[in-house]
Amino acid sequence: MNGTLEISLAALRANAEALRALVAPTHAAFVVKGNAYGHGAPEVARAVEAGARYLCVYTIDEALALRAAGIGAPVLVLGPVPAASLRAAVENDCELPLWDERGYLHDLATAARACGKSARVHLKINTGLNRFGIAPDQCDAMLDAVASVRDVEIVGVFSHLAAAEEIDSPYTQYQLARFSIARERVRARFPAAQHHIAASAAAMLWPQSRLDIARFGIALYGLWPSEQTRAAMGESGIALRPALAYRSQLVVTREIEAGEAVGYGCTFHAPRAMRIGVLPLGYADGIPRLLSGNGSFLIDGARCAILGRIAMNTTVLDLSHAPAAGVGATVTLIGRDGSEEIAADDWARWAQTISYEIVTRLPDTLPRRFVEL
Protein backbone atom coordinates (compact mmCIF):
# COMPACT_ATOMS: atom_id res chain seq x y z
CA MET A 1 0.00 0.00 0.00
CA ASN A 2 1.29 3.47 -0.87
CA GLY A 3 -0.48 5.40 1.85
CA THR A 4 -2.57 4.73 4.95
CA LEU A 5 -5.08 6.75 6.93
CA GLU A 6 -4.87 6.18 10.67
CA ILE A 7 -8.11 6.93 12.52
CA SER A 8 -8.06 7.32 16.28
CA LEU A 9 -11.18 5.84 17.84
CA ALA A 10 -10.12 7.29 21.19
CA ALA A 11 -10.06 10.79 19.67
CA LEU A 12 -13.51 10.31 18.20
CA ARG A 13 -14.94 9.18 21.51
CA ALA A 14 -13.25 12.03 23.39
CA ASN A 15 -14.57 14.59 20.91
CA ALA A 16 -18.06 13.10 21.11
CA GLU A 17 -18.05 13.26 24.89
CA ALA A 18 -16.74 16.84 24.94
CA LEU A 19 -19.44 17.95 22.51
CA ARG A 20 -22.18 16.16 24.43
CA ALA A 21 -21.03 17.88 27.62
CA LEU A 22 -20.91 21.26 25.88
CA VAL A 23 -24.60 21.20 24.89
CA ALA A 24 -26.13 19.16 27.72
CA PRO A 25 -29.02 18.75 28.43
CA THR A 26 -29.52 19.11 24.67
CA HIS A 27 -28.97 15.78 22.92
CA ALA A 28 -26.10 15.31 20.47
CA ALA A 29 -26.48 13.83 17.00
CA PHE A 30 -23.36 12.86 15.08
CA VAL A 31 -23.12 13.33 11.32
CA VAL A 32 -21.42 10.48 9.46
CA LYS A 33 -22.32 11.40 5.89
CA GLY A 34 -19.63 11.46 3.20
CA ASN A 35 -18.07 8.26 4.60
CA ALA A 36 -17.91 9.99 7.99
CA TYR A 37 -16.14 12.99 6.46
CA GLY A 38 -13.62 10.62 4.93
CA HIS A 39 -12.89 8.80 8.19
CA GLY A 40 -14.86 5.58 7.53
CA ALA A 41 -18.58 5.56 8.29
CA PRO A 42 -19.25 2.14 9.86
CA GLU A 43 -16.29 2.30 12.21
CA VAL A 44 -16.94 5.90 13.24
CA ALA A 45 -20.62 5.19 13.79
CA ARG A 46 -19.79 2.17 15.91
CA ALA A 47 -17.39 4.24 18.02
CA VAL A 48 -19.88 7.00 18.88
CA GLU A 49 -23.34 5.46 18.56
CA ALA A 50 -23.76 4.85 22.29
CA GLY A 51 -23.94 8.58 22.96
CA ALA A 52 -25.78 9.62 19.82
CA ARG A 53 -29.40 10.71 19.76
CA TYR A 54 -29.10 10.17 16.01
CA LEU A 55 -26.50 9.23 13.47
CA CYS A 56 -27.12 11.54 10.52
CA VAL A 57 -26.41 10.69 6.89
CA TYR A 58 -27.27 12.33 3.60
CA THR A 59 -28.38 9.41 1.43
CA ILE A 60 -30.49 6.34 2.04
CA ASP A 61 -27.62 4.23 0.72
CA GLU A 62 -25.45 5.54 3.54
CA ALA A 63 -28.18 4.70 6.04
CA LEU A 64 -28.65 1.17 4.75
CA ALA A 65 -24.88 0.60 4.79
CA LEU A 66 -24.88 1.44 8.51
CA ARG A 67 -27.68 -1.03 9.13
CA ALA A 68 -25.83 -3.70 7.12
CA ALA A 69 -22.80 -3.07 9.32
CA GLY A 70 -24.86 -3.82 12.42
CA ILE A 71 -25.37 -0.23 13.58
CA GLY A 72 -28.55 -0.12 15.65
CA ALA A 73 -28.66 3.53 16.71
CA PRO A 74 -31.40 5.80 15.35
CA VAL A 75 -30.47 6.97 11.84
CA LEU A 76 -31.73 10.20 10.30
CA VAL A 77 -31.43 10.78 6.55
CA LEU A 78 -30.96 14.48 5.78
CA GLY A 79 -31.16 14.42 1.97
CA PRO A 80 -33.74 13.41 -0.63
CA VAL A 81 -34.79 9.75 -0.79
CA PRO A 82 -35.91 8.20 -4.10
CA ALA A 83 -39.40 6.70 -4.10
CA ALA A 84 -37.96 3.29 -4.96
CA SER A 85 -35.98 3.30 -1.69
CA LEU A 86 -38.76 4.33 0.68
CA ARG A 87 -39.82 0.83 1.66
CA ALA A 88 -36.24 -0.18 2.50
CA ALA A 89 -35.90 3.00 4.55
CA VAL A 90 -39.00 2.28 6.62
CA GLU A 91 -38.18 -1.42 7.00
CA ASN A 92 -34.77 -0.48 8.39
CA ASP A 93 -36.16 2.09 10.83
CA CYS A 94 -34.56 5.07 9.12
CA GLU A 95 -36.11 8.44 9.88
CA LEU A 96 -36.60 10.62 6.83
CA PRO A 97 -36.90 14.30 5.89
CA LEU A 98 -40.19 15.58 4.55
CA TRP A 99 -40.69 18.71 2.48
CA ASP A 100 -42.95 17.50 -0.33
CA GLU A 101 -46.65 17.01 0.40
CA ARG A 102 -47.47 15.74 -3.08
CA GLY A 103 -46.45 12.40 -4.58
CA TYR A 104 -43.64 11.83 -2.09
CA LEU A 105 -45.94 11.82 0.92
CA HIS A 106 -48.32 9.37 -0.82
CA ASP A 107 -45.41 7.09 -1.78
CA LEU A 108 -44.07 7.20 1.76
CA ALA A 109 -47.44 6.26 3.26
CA THR A 110 -47.79 3.40 0.75
CA ALA A 111 -44.32 2.10 1.65
CA ALA A 112 -45.11 2.27 5.35
CA ARG A 113 -48.34 0.32 4.95
CA ALA A 114 -46.57 -2.30 2.84
CA CYS A 115 -44.17 -3.14 5.63
CA GLY A 116 -46.58 -2.64 8.51
CA LYS A 117 -44.69 0.20 10.15
CA SER A 118 -45.18 3.90 10.69
CA ALA A 119 -42.85 6.12 8.69
CA ARG A 120 -41.10 8.56 11.04
CA VAL A 121 -40.35 11.91 9.43
CA HIS A 122 -38.69 15.22 10.29
CA LEU A 123 -40.33 18.22 8.65
CA LYS A 124 -37.66 20.28 6.85
CA ILE A 125 -38.10 24.06 7.02
CA ASN A 126 -36.43 26.44 4.61
CA THR A 127 -35.41 29.34 6.83
CA GLY A 128 -33.12 31.00 4.30
CA LEU A 129 -30.49 28.59 3.01
CA ASN A 130 -32.82 28.04 0.05
CA ARG A 131 -31.97 24.47 -0.79
CA PHE A 132 -34.50 22.05 0.67
CA GLY A 133 -37.56 22.62 2.83
CA ILE A 134 -40.87 24.41 2.99
CA ALA A 135 -41.46 28.00 4.04
CA PRO A 136 -42.69 28.52 7.61
CA ASP A 137 -46.05 29.76 6.32
CA GLN A 138 -46.55 26.44 4.50
CA CYS A 139 -46.40 24.44 7.72
CA ASP A 140 -50.14 24.26 8.31
CA ALA A 141 -50.79 22.91 4.82
CA MET A 142 -48.09 20.30 5.24
CA LEU A 143 -49.38 19.27 8.65
CA ASP A 144 -52.88 18.94 7.18
CA ALA A 145 -51.49 16.76 4.40
CA VAL A 146 -49.72 14.48 6.87
CA ALA A 147 -52.84 14.23 9.01
CA SER A 148 -54.80 13.14 5.95
CA VAL A 149 -52.72 9.99 5.43
CA ARG A 150 -52.14 7.09 7.73
CA ASP A 151 -48.82 5.56 8.74
CA VAL A 152 -46.71 8.76 8.59
CA GLU A 153 -45.69 10.33 11.89
CA ILE A 154 -43.95 13.68 12.36
CA VAL A 155 -41.28 13.14 15.03
CA GLY A 156 -39.07 16.14 14.28
CA VAL A 157 -38.82 19.56 12.67
CA PHE A 158 -35.48 20.92 11.50
CA SER A 159 -33.59 23.43 9.41
CA HIS A 160 -30.01 24.45 8.65
CA LEU A 161 -28.13 27.72 9.12
CA ALA A 162 -26.21 29.57 6.44
CA ALA A 163 -23.83 31.80 8.43
CA ALA A 164 -23.52 30.30 11.91
CA GLU A 165 -19.69 30.51 11.83
CA GLU A 166 -20.06 34.28 12.27
CA ILE A 167 -20.33 35.48 15.84
CA ASP A 168 -22.31 38.58 14.86
CA SER A 169 -24.69 37.32 12.20
CA PRO A 170 -28.00 39.12 11.61
CA TYR A 171 -28.82 36.44 9.04
CA THR A 172 -28.56 33.72 11.70
CA GLN A 173 -30.92 35.71 13.91
CA TYR A 174 -33.29 36.02 10.96
CA GLN A 175 -33.21 32.28 10.33
CA LEU A 176 -33.76 31.43 13.99
CA ALA A 177 -36.78 33.75 14.05
CA ARG A 178 -38.25 32.08 10.95
CA PHE A 179 -37.65 28.65 12.46
CA SER A 180 -39.40 29.71 15.65
CA ILE A 181 -42.57 30.42 13.64
CA ALA A 182 -42.50 26.93 12.14
CA ARG A 183 -41.68 25.29 15.45
CA GLU A 184 -44.70 26.81 17.15
CA ARG A 185 -47.01 25.55 14.41
CA VAL A 186 -45.57 22.06 14.61
CA ARG A 187 -45.59 22.02 18.41
CA ALA A 188 -49.31 22.86 18.48
CA ARG A 189 -50.14 19.63 16.64
CA PHE A 190 -47.14 17.38 17.33
CA PRO A 191 -45.99 18.35 20.84
CA ALA A 192 -43.51 15.47 21.07
CA ALA A 193 -41.63 16.42 17.89
CA GLN A 194 -37.93 17.12 18.35
CA HIS A 195 -36.59 20.47 17.14
CA HIS A 196 -33.10 20.91 15.67
CA ILE A 197 -31.25 23.51 13.62
CA ALA A 198 -27.72 23.76 15.08
CA ALA A 199 -24.69 22.11 13.50
CA SER A 200 -21.18 22.34 14.97
CA ALA A 201 -20.61 26.09 14.67
CA ALA A 202 -24.09 27.09 15.80
CA ALA A 203 -23.99 24.73 18.78
CA MET A 204 -20.78 26.43 19.87
CA LEU A 205 -21.47 30.08 19.07
CA TRP A 206 -25.25 30.33 19.31
CA PRO A 207 -26.42 28.52 22.47
CA GLN A 208 -30.03 29.55 21.80
CA SER A 209 -29.95 27.38 18.67
CA ARG A 210 -29.27 24.11 20.50
CA LEU A 211 -32.98 23.32 21.12
CA ASP A 212 -33.63 19.57 21.52
CA ILE A 213 -30.75 18.24 19.39
CA ALA A 214 -27.44 19.63 18.12
CA ARG A 215 -25.99 17.96 15.02
CA PHE A 216 -22.21 17.66 15.15
CA GLY A 217 -20.34 16.95 11.95
CA ILE A 218 -16.88 18.47 11.45
CA ALA A 219 -16.27 18.95 15.20
CA LEU A 220 -16.72 15.23 15.87
CA TYR A 221 -13.58 14.63 13.82
CA GLY A 222 -11.54 17.12 15.82
CA LEU A 223 -11.70 19.89 13.22
CA TRP A 224 -13.09 23.38 13.80
CA PRO A 225 -15.86 24.78 11.60
CA SER A 226 -13.83 27.97 11.12
CA GLU A 227 -10.92 29.89 12.63
CA GLN A 228 -13.44 32.33 14.07
CA THR A 229 -15.17 29.48 15.87
CA ARG A 230 -11.88 28.13 17.20
CA ALA A 231 -10.89 31.57 18.52
CA ALA A 232 -14.28 32.18 20.11
CA MET A 233 -14.18 28.83 21.88
CA GLY A 234 -10.60 29.27 23.02
CA GLU A 235 -11.54 30.03 26.62
CA SER A 236 -14.42 27.59 26.85
CA GLY A 237 -12.29 24.67 27.94
CA ILE A 238 -13.39 22.46 25.07
CA ALA A 239 -10.54 20.63 23.36
CA LEU A 240 -10.93 18.87 20.04
CA ARG A 241 -8.44 16.27 18.90
CA PRO A 242 -8.01 15.56 15.16
CA ALA A 243 -8.86 11.91 14.62
CA LEU A 244 -7.15 11.40 11.26
CA ALA A 245 -3.49 11.02 10.27
CA TYR A 246 -2.23 10.31 6.75
CA ARG A 247 1.14 8.61 6.28
CA SER A 248 3.25 7.07 3.55
CA GLN A 249 6.90 6.28 2.77
CA LEU A 250 9.53 7.54 0.39
CA VAL A 251 10.04 5.19 -2.55
CA VAL A 252 12.93 7.01 -4.26
CA THR A 253 15.63 9.47 -3.20
CA ARG A 254 18.03 11.16 -5.62
CA GLU A 255 20.56 13.94 -5.97
CA ILE A 256 19.93 16.67 -8.52
CA GLU A 257 22.23 19.41 -9.71
CA ALA A 258 21.66 23.14 -9.66
CA GLY A 259 19.36 24.13 -12.51
CA GLU A 260 17.73 20.73 -12.95
CA ALA A 261 13.93 20.67 -13.26
CA VAL A 262 11.46 18.66 -11.18
CA GLY A 263 8.05 17.47 -12.34
CA TYR A 264 5.60 18.29 -15.10
CA GLY A 265 5.90 21.67 -16.75
CA CYS A 266 9.39 22.21 -15.28
CA THR A 267 7.90 24.68 -12.81
CA PHE A 268 10.71 24.09 -10.30
CA HIS A 269 14.42 24.37 -11.04
CA ALA A 270 16.89 23.53 -8.28
CA PRO A 271 18.64 26.67 -7.03
CA ARG A 272 21.55 24.49 -5.87
CA ALA A 273 22.54 20.87 -5.70
CA MET A 274 19.75 19.16 -3.76
CA ARG A 275 18.56 15.84 -2.41
CA ILE A 276 14.94 15.04 -3.17
CA GLY A 277 12.50 12.26 -2.31
CA VAL A 278 9.56 10.82 -4.21
CA LEU A 279 6.27 10.03 -2.49
CA PRO A 280 4.06 7.50 -4.33
CA LEU A 281 0.89 9.58 -3.85
CA GLY A 282 -0.65 12.43 -5.80
CA TYR A 283 -3.93 14.10 -6.55
CA ALA A 284 -5.59 10.73 -7.21
CA ASP A 285 -4.90 10.02 -3.55
CA GLY A 286 -6.54 13.17 -2.23
CA ILE A 287 -3.58 15.57 -2.29
CA PRO A 288 -4.88 18.81 -3.85
CA ARG A 289 -2.86 19.90 -6.87
CA LEU A 290 -2.91 23.43 -5.42
CA LEU A 291 -0.36 22.23 -2.85
CA SER A 292 2.17 22.16 -5.70
CA GLY A 293 5.15 24.30 -4.69
CA ASN A 294 3.07 25.57 -1.80
CA GLY A 295 2.80 22.94 0.93
CA SER A 296 5.01 20.63 2.92
CA PHE A 297 4.94 17.24 4.61
CA LEU A 298 6.87 15.89 7.60
CA ILE A 299 9.87 13.56 7.53
CA ASP A 300 11.98 12.87 10.65
CA GLY A 301 10.14 15.66 12.46
CA ALA A 302 11.06 18.25 9.81
CA ARG A 303 8.96 20.11 7.26
CA CYS A 304 9.90 19.09 3.73
CA ALA A 305 8.62 21.37 1.00
CA ILE A 306 6.69 20.08 -2.01
CA LEU A 307 8.70 20.71 -5.18
CA GLY A 308 7.13 21.29 -8.57
CA ARG A 309 3.74 20.06 -9.64
CA ILE A 310 1.91 17.31 -7.82
CA ALA A 311 1.11 14.55 -10.32
CA MET A 312 -1.69 12.01 -10.31
CA ASN A 313 0.37 9.45 -8.38
CA THR A 314 3.56 11.20 -7.22
CA THR A 315 4.73 14.12 -5.13
CA VAL A 316 8.36 15.24 -4.86
CA LEU A 317 9.76 16.58 -1.59
CA ASP A 318 12.84 18.61 -0.67
CA LEU A 319 14.96 16.53 1.75
CA SER A 320 17.25 19.39 2.77
CA HIS A 321 15.84 19.39 6.32
CA ALA A 322 15.75 15.57 6.57
CA PRO A 323 19.26 14.63 5.41
CA ALA A 324 19.16 11.12 6.87
CA ALA A 325 15.88 10.16 5.20
CA GLY A 326 16.16 7.30 2.74
CA VAL A 327 13.86 4.96 0.90
CA GLY A 328 11.25 3.69 3.35
CA ALA A 329 11.34 6.80 5.53
CA THR A 330 7.93 7.66 6.97
CA VAL A 331 6.22 10.70 5.49
CA THR A 332 3.43 12.33 7.50
CA LEU A 333 1.07 14.15 5.17
CA ILE A 334 -1.47 14.97 7.90
CA GLY A 335 -0.66 14.44 11.55
CA ARG A 336 2.15 14.90 14.05
CA ASP A 337 5.83 13.94 13.80
CA GLY A 338 7.86 15.02 16.80
CA SER A 339 7.11 18.63 17.65
CA GLU A 340 5.77 19.44 14.19
CA GLU A 341 2.24 18.92 12.90
CA ILE A 342 0.53 19.22 9.51
CA ALA A 343 -3.22 19.70 9.89
CA ALA A 344 -6.09 19.35 7.48
CA ASP A 345 -6.50 23.08 8.02
CA ASP A 346 -2.97 23.59 6.63
CA TRP A 347 -3.92 21.71 3.47
CA ALA A 348 -7.10 23.78 3.27
CA ARG A 349 -5.17 27.04 3.55
CA TRP A 350 -2.65 25.99 0.90
CA ALA A 351 -5.43 24.76 -1.41
CA GLN A 352 -7.70 27.78 -0.79
CA THR A 353 -10.56 25.65 0.53
CA ILE A 354 -11.91 24.30 3.84
CA SER A 355 -10.98 21.30 5.93
CA TYR A 356 -14.39 19.71 5.19
CA GLU A 357 -13.40 19.30 1.55
CA ILE A 358 -9.91 18.06 2.37
CA VAL A 359 -10.98 15.11 4.50
CA THR A 360 -14.14 14.15 2.64
CA ARG A 361 -12.24 13.89 -0.64
CA LEU A 362 -9.73 11.37 0.69
CA PRO A 363 -10.44 8.36 -1.53
CA ASP A 364 -12.27 5.32 -0.24
CA THR A 365 -9.47 3.25 -1.82
CA LEU A 366 -7.00 4.46 0.81
CA PRO A 367 -6.69 1.85 3.58
CA ARG A 368 -8.02 3.08 6.91
CA ARG A 369 -6.46 1.69 10.06
CA PHE A 370 -8.50 2.19 13.22
CA VAL A 371 -6.47 2.49 16.41
CA GLU A 372 -7.22 2.95 20.10
CA LEU A 373 -4.73 5.78 20.60
- DSSP H or E segment with residue 142: helix 139-147
Give catalytic status of residue 264 as yes or no: yes
How far is residue 6's CA from residue 133's CA, in Å, rounded to a whole number? Answer: 37
Q: Calculate the dihedral angle through the C-alpha atoms of 165, 168, 174, 177, rounding to the nearest 10 degrees.
A: 90
Contact of 229 with 204, CB cutoff 8 Å: yes
Out of 171, 174, 264, 283, the active site residue is 264
**What's the rounded Cα separation, in Å, for the pair 321 and 259?**
20
End-to-end CA gap in the chain = 22
Strand partners, 216: 30
Q: Which of 225, 355, 347, 336 is nearest to 288 (CA)?
A: 347
Catalytic annotation present for 124: no
> Contact, 51 vs 20, CB < 8 A?
yes
Q: Which of 33, 54, 124, 283 is catalytic?
A: 33
Distances (CA, A) of 182 to 98, 101, 129, 363: 14, 16, 15, 39
Q: Hey, which residues are catalytic here? A: 33, 264
